[in-house]
Amino acid sequence: MSNQIRFIGASRAAQLVQEEIDDASRSDAKVLITGESGVGKEVVAQLIHQQSRRGRAPLVTINCAGVPDSLLATEMFGHMRGSFTDAHRDTTGWLEKAHRGTIFMDEIGEMSLSMQSLLLRFLENGEIQRVGSERQSTQVDVRLVAATNRRLADRIATGEFREDLFYRLNVIHIDIPPLRERREDIAPLLDHFLRIFSQSHSMERPMFSQEATEQLMACDWPGNVRQLRNVAERLVVRARQGIITTADLPREVLSGPVSPNPSATLAPTRAPAEILFERMVRNGETFWTVVYEPFMARDLTRSDLRELVRHALGITRGNYKNVAQLFNVPADYKRLLNFLRKYQCHLPIQEFRAIPVEHSAAPRSFPEAVGE
């Protein structure tokens, strides 16, 4: 993966994850990353490595579920020539390859008990002994980051995971919530993926109708960020001329959340911009309290602010003076414009001027870069 990865997101949860990454990067403590499949555990592991003092040394990833138990020990610790039938020469293990760097043990919950004991022994003394070696063991300097989408507590209860190993690994615990519990991250992630895929496929970046946008925001994303990424790529590749409507969205996104919980239906997900707009236009609150303050406190993203401005320009047909009126700050017209310009949220008015009166049919697209 490229060096430019970062933990993209606008939610409080994403912010917390980023803070935990920053904290973890400052030490050598072991990290356990948990979360559903596709939430970004590997991204977090990579960021910790890159940001840490070990960033220039290798990050070696081991998928514990992908390697048969019989091979895992030799892969990890290396082996000596002749130690088993196919061992034609001495081999360096993953731990040695990661010397001065980081070892990322993915799907740690799948590890067999015998492998767990080997790992535990290594964690106690930092020494490795190649399989079949008579020699003195060597010391390696690696930082361990592990991840799992399993509930390790359940596996401990059933005797499948060693509790002492769990405590060794769980020095810093980073739990990444599923995407449906941090919906504010959907827009910036989508924005990010649309940008990278339209660049890599040399395609125009697609625009979305309001309904299509709402549908993407309301989807439960059971496959989390990975699913969102795949959908974004498909939309870029398949985009025809014009605007993506709900009819163009993949079926998996259209089948809305099926929730037996009645409170979930009482709280439909609405874009932040829409809620803020209503607070100003219906409740008469001012732009400075409703938008400016949360924006400066980073509770509101640039993309939300642009969305809000876009919506207001659609209604006023590109008239910023009327936007100031709508936002209940008519006397602060200049200050409002300066603020929008300073944060690159001042949108050009031409496209809104060209729109016929029924502005509700105006196309909406996701904003350009978010919060960079």
Ligand X SMILES: Nc1ncnc2c1ncn2[C@@H]1O[C@H](COP(=O)(O)OP(=O)(O)OP(=O)(O)O)[C@@H](O)[C@H]1O
Residue ranges binding ligand X (CB under 6 A): 5, 7-9, 35, 37-43, 149, 225-226, 229
3-class SS letters over 42-84: HHHHHHHHHHCCCCCCCEEEEECCCCCHHHHHHHHHEECCCCC
Minimum gap (Å) between residue 9 Cβ and ligand X: 5
- Residue linked to tokens 């490229």: 2
Nearer to Mg ion, 33 or 326 (CB): 33
Among ligand X, Mg ion, none, residue 299 binds (CB under 5-8 Å by kind): none
Among Mg ion, ligand X, none, residue 123 binds (CB under 5-8 Å by kind): none
Minimum gap (Å) between residue 115 Cβ and ligand X: 19
- Interacting span for Mg ion (CB under 5 A) from 18-26, 41-49, 297-305, 351-359: 41-49
Asked if residue 365 lies in contact with residue 325, where contact means CB atoms within 8 angstroms, the answer is no
Minimum gap (Å) between residue 271 Cβ and Mg ion: 30
Tell me the sheet residues that pair with 34. 148, 175
- Binding of Mg ion at residue 248 (CB under 5 A)? no
Helix (H) / strand (E) containing 144: strand 143-148
Nearer to ligand X, 6 or 359 (CB): 6
- Give the span between the Cα atoms of 204 and 197, in whole angstroms: 10
Member of 28, 42, 127, 368 binding Mg ion (CB under 5 A): 42
What are the phi and psi torsion angles at 358 (to 5°)? -75, 75
Nearer to Mg ion, 27 or 63 (CB): 63
Asked if residue 48 lies in contact with residue 32, where contact means CB atoms within 8 angstroms, the answer is no
- Give the span between the Cα atoms of 243 and 207, in whole angstroms: 5
Among Mg ion, ligand X, none, residue 351 binds (CB under 5-8 Å by kind): none
The angle formed by the CA atoms of residues 143, 144 and 149, to the nearest 5 degrees, is 155
Q: Which two tokens stand for residue 349?
A: 């008015």
Nearer to ligand X, 162 or 229 (CB): 229
Among ligand X, Mg ion, none, residue 115 binds (CB under 5-8 Å by kind): none
Nearer to ligand X, 9 or 314 (CB): 9
Which residue of the chain is nearest Mg ion when measured via CB? 42
Binding residues for Mg ion, rule: CB under 5 A, are: 41-42
